[in-house]
Structure 1
Amino acid sequence: MDRAAMALAKLKVKNIRFDTGLGCKPKFTAEDVAAALAGTETGPYYLALAKYTGDLPARLALETTVMCYLGDHIKNKKLLSDGEYAALHHYTHCLVRNVEPYRITDIDRQKCKVWHQLVRLLVDHAVIDHRCPKCNGTGNGKRYPVGRDFAYKPCTRCGGSTRVRPSNRSNARFLGVTHPTWAEKYEPVYRDLYPMLAIWEQHAFKHLSQQLFSRIDHQIGEALRAC
């Protein structure tokens, strides 16, 4: 269980036991997470809600939020022509309003859908737990003796990082483009925007931690007043 999930679990302390030693992983409802995240910013809010509850509307809202940031990034980097950017802006505007884009050509619509797929890829990699299947997320490989104890070599699949990210070729297939096109046009944007999602998750964890400590302080205060 990662730190943010543990913070959420402790906020739901009435329903979760930590003394079993079984490494329990609680299930959170959208209401639980939304209540714990009240007051945080839009990006971290929808990211945590989508990640810890699997809430589909939150995931779609996260995609829309990232799509808006993508448009700003493309504009600042001047990655598209004025016409292409205008088409992407219109596509994003219609996505926010949940209507079909109507003022762009079929060719521009197809190009916008590829950018939308890039956003879905970013959201997938931020929300889905890509646990290494070989070491089951432990990061440990073969065990070897060290004196009277044992140690582990790093997992040969994930290198000890505990996670396995999809390959560039699978990312290209997800977007429906060739590997060279992915590497030249889309991967740089992916690398620029993914750290933003990591920061959003850190912000969500910080907010959840503050909520946890506030809850503990309140419980201690109640206990002291009862003495």
Structure 2
Amino acid sequence: MISLEGKVGLVVGIANDHSIAYGCAKAFRAAGAALAITYLNDKARPFVAPLAEGLQSDLFVPCDVEVDGNLEAAFAAVEKRYGKLDFLLHSIAYAPKPDLGGRLVDSSAGGFARAMDISCHSFLRMARLAEPLMADGGSLLTVSYYGAEKVVEHYGVMGPVKAALECASLYLANELGPRGIRVNVLSPGPIATRAASGIPGFNDLLNDAEKRGPTHHLAGIGDVGAMAAFLASDLSRNMTGNIVFIDAGSHIVA
């Protein structure tokens, strides 16, 4: 039985009820955690607020990593409300549409840098802010995809960006391990989220994963949430630096 009773978690990346971050937040709450939940901006707030209320979130704050001071303010609010942080889920990614839909070789310097900043470097910034709040250790989680390891058609600039995120997570695991802070990467198969809908040919990815995977079905946000809750719990206290596939085995099939 996974228990997160007495633990405080920060969930960054819920956009709607189809979000991977929401599936994780539901699992965290079901296991007993107190949750701080962020929303991107005023436009996103109406979509996220009812979900945060349903999750009985103790703290609901804006967090746009591109706005100076926004991320720091979110962590300051966590510290003021709880005085600690036990786990963090980073589930945000972005690339400008022309760079996402086109060839990697044609990606713009600005688009590549923005995708890297939002999707990868923001996790490093969150880890730095989380570290002093995890005096008794903790768990940092982020979300990647198989396109970080193998070429996936139409994934474009996000392939190398997610590869950087995975590699950065390994270095974080090594650096923060002595503090008792674990760092693991969730790597779901294709899931029909709002973010994924921007990838050209995404429906083909879904169909191909279901057809070729050993179990011939797709993992959903609830499956990712179950793994996230385990990795946030004390049951995984000796697991760090892992890239964990939740994809019904599709990553093993050539």
Q: How does the TM-score come out when normalised to structure 2?
A: 0.28
In terms of fraction of residues, the more strand-rich structure is 2
Asked which structure has the greater CA Rg, the reply is 1
In terms of fraction of residues, the more helix-rich structure is 1
Q: How does the TM-score come out when normalised to structure 1?
A: 0.30
